[in-house]
Amino acid sequence: MSRLRDYDVLVACEESGMIRDALRAAGVRAISCDLKPSRRPGPHAVIDVRRLLPLRHWKGMIAHPPCRYLANSGAKHLYKRINGVWAKEHGRDADRWRLMEEGAAFFNLFRDADHIPLRAIENSIMHGHGLQMTAGRPADVITQPWWFGDPFTKAAAWWLYGLPALVRLYDKSHYESIRPKAWYLPPSDDREQKRSETEPATALAVAAQWGPLFRAGSGTRPAIPRSARPLPPACR
């Protein structure tokens, strides 16, 4: 792997290499990092991202911090389970709150990296406690895979700093059917890993819409001509 200073954009906490590869195909000098090796060949650092964040040369960053303990879908687990029921009346689950606070602190490392001018932090839709501990505001945009050409649902919330919101390219009317991504994944040891992976069409949209900004180092987005928008798979 080349020197870290040979890269302009850090794709943090990405094991899949999906967004990294899409950015590189768009001419962006991107590198991914994670505690695990990349599942796709390409520039990747197996390292704690906290060692890379302080570097002052980054023009941009896309971060995917773990969302398990911040996600609204898991809010009930913040409270104790008695007789099969989670409820506030049962009191807080101390371990779960500790894990949530640790997750929030990690998210905030990317929020506070103000020396990187163009930043996007992707996560699940958060519960209220998570929002209070992290961004302090709702996400700037919540995307779905069908926005960009993949015929299924899986909400992704994006908090943006210096970047414009991603633009939806398709309507539901473009598809014969749209189903939750989880329906396409049979039980397996790596099901959660696959479920969290960025979808190919989303990665391509990120590269097409933010790639020119990362190359220029500014947050002014050029127009996206409709002629450059490929048909979604359901229409091919």
Contact by Cβ (8 Å): 116, 213? no
Structure token digits, residue 101: 């606070």
Q: Would you state the structure tokens that stand for residue 167, as one six-digit string?
A: 């633009």
Contact predicate 21/27, CB 8 Å = no
* pLDDT score at 235: 37
The tokens describing 145, both together, are 């895979």
pLDDT at 39: 93
Q: What domains can you pick out in the chain, each with its CATH number?
A: 4-75+107-235 (3.40.50.150)
**Burial per residue of 17-53, b for 16 or more beta-carbon CB atoms within 10 angstroms, e otherwise:** bbbbbbbbebebebbbbbeeebbeeebbbeeebeebb
Distance CA 165, CA 129 (A): 24
121 phi, psi to nearest 5 deg: -115, 120
Q: CA of 221: how far to CAs of 30, 160, 210, 217, in Å? A: 19, 14, 7, 11
> What are the distances in angstroms from CA 52 to CA 109, 128, 133?
11, 30, 23
pLDDT in the model for residue 89: 87
pLDDT, position 193: 59
Amino acid letter, 174: H
**Counting beta carbons within 10 angstroms of the beta carbon of residue 156, is it exposed (0 to 12), middle (13 to 18) or buried (19 or more)?**
buried
Residues of the chain with pLDDT under 50: 191, 222-236
Q: Is 164 exposed, middle or buried (0-12, 13-18, 19+ CB in 10 A)?
A: middle
